[in-house]
Amino acid sequence: MNAPPPPGWYPDQADPRYVRWWDGRQWTPQVQPARPPQQAPAAPQGDASPIEMALGGTGNAESVQKQVQQRAGVGGQVAGGGGTLFSEPVLVVNQQAKLIEVANEYAIYDQHGRQLGSVLQTGQGVVQKALRVLTKLDSMMTVKLEIRDAAGQPVLLLTRPATLWKSTVHVQRPDGSAVGDIRMENVWGKARFSFEVGGQRIGGIHAENLRAWDLRLLDHADAEIGRITKTWQGLAKAAFTTADNYVVQIHRPLADPLLSMVLASALTVDTTLSQYQS
């Protein structure tokens, strides 16, 4: 059986005056007027460019499945899942690989490689972007992230205020109402975070090693409800970028607000620990 064609713009079967985006697995709703090859439209916003793909970028279903099954050790396919960020038992969070990175940007996939959402850094000023390119001082400034669903609509807002010490990430709904806080409990040793809602601890994150590559997600009684595994990003990406990839496995259905805190957890770990690790 022949492999499917790579992602790209191809003649629309319904109207040859247009080209339609093929994402490597299926046709998408994105169409544009047909143009000569040298003027072919760019990839849709959020898709990896050829350079990013060469660096081990996101968007490849086979790569996502390898992260889940081989690197995170999730055997086979985990049953269940409703096809949304809040209903899948396995989520793959891949930071977009760029040669020059001025903002955090992630894609979120299910265990099969279907993109369920994305994460974008917002609210950056010119100074913060310059500090990111030239130094690491931007990691000590306020970071704001939006978790968006497959339609590009915000579902959660994350804010990590500027700090030189233990970080706290505020988790909010799109309307600005509070969900809770993810607080860093220690700076040295194995990383630990707590999920706090209304001043009460409802769970947390405990790292199993100093580099925080394997972390346990816990409920209020410290029973394991899931795991976060940092997966190797590939030789080219490791050599030229600082992009990180994570697999989040949720062992059982969770109710809010714990579910939202778990969804935000992999992004919290990556955003927070970049402040303390090289």
Rounded mean pLDDT of 52-69?
Answer: 60
User: For 141-191, what is each residue's pLDDT tens digit?
Assistant: 788 889 999 888 999 999 988 877 788 999 999 999 999 999 999 878 898
| Distance from C-alpha of 134 to C-alpha of 121, rounded to nearest angstrom | 18
Question: What is the DSSP track for 184-203?
Answer: E--SSSS-EEEEEETTEEEE
- 24-37 pLDDT, tens digit per residue, is 777 777 777 765 44
Same domain for 28 and 147, yes or no, is: no
**In terms of domains, do 175 and 237 share one?**
yes
pLDDT band at 100 (very low <50, low <70, confident <90, very high): very low
Domain presence at residue 2: no
Give tens-digit pLDDT for 179-216. 999 999 987 889 899 999 999 999 999 999 877 678 99
Contact by Cβ (8 Å): 247, 165: no
Same domain, 33 and 106: no
Question: Tens digit of pLDDT for each residue in 225-256?
Answer: 999 988 765 433 433 334 568 889 999 889 99
Q: How many CB atoms lie within 10 A of CB 147?
A: 23
- Distance of alpha carbon 89 from alpha carbon 77, whole angstroms: 10
Residue 135 domain-assigned?
yes
Judgement on whether residues 156 and 91 belong to the same structural domain of the protein: yes
Shared domain check, 131 and 87: yes
49 domain residue, yes or no: no
Q: Find the domain containing 123 and state its range.
A: 59-273
Q: Are residues 16 and 107 in the same domain?
A: no
Question: Is 50 inside any structural domain?
Answer: no
Q: Say if residue 34 is in the same domain as residue 118.
A: no
Tell me the average pLDDT across 93-115: 72
Residues 22 and 97 grouped into a single domain: no
The pLDDT of residue 222 is 96
Is 44 part of any domain? no
Tokens linked to 95: 């930071």
Identify whether residues 25 and 100 lie together within a single domain.
no
Lowest mean per-residue pLDDT among 67-76, 84-93, 235-244: 235-244
Please tell me whether residues 27 and 63 are part of one structural domain.
Answer: no
| Phi, psi (deg, nearest 5) at residue 114 | -85, 130
Same domain, 262 and 125: yes
Q: What is the pLDDT of residue 142?
A: 84
The reply to whether 111 falls in a domain is yes
pLDDT of residue 102 exceeding 70, the answer is no
pLDDT of residue 258: 96
Tell me: pLDDT of 90 over 70. Answer: yes
**Any idea what the CATH number is for the domain that residue 135 is in?**
2.40.160.200
Q: What is the mean pLDDT of the chain?
A: 75
Overall number of domains in the chain: 2
Q: Reply yes or no on whether the pLDDT at 58 is more than 60.
A: no
Give the pLDDT band of residue 95 (cuts 50, 70, 90): confident
Q: Does residue 261 sit in the same domain as residue 143? A: yes
Query: Does a structural domain hold residue 122?
Result: yes
Instruction: Output the pLDDT for position 35.
Output: 57
Residue 46 lies in a domain: no
E strand intervals along 6-56: 8-11, 18-22, 27-33
Position 162 scores a pLDDT of 82
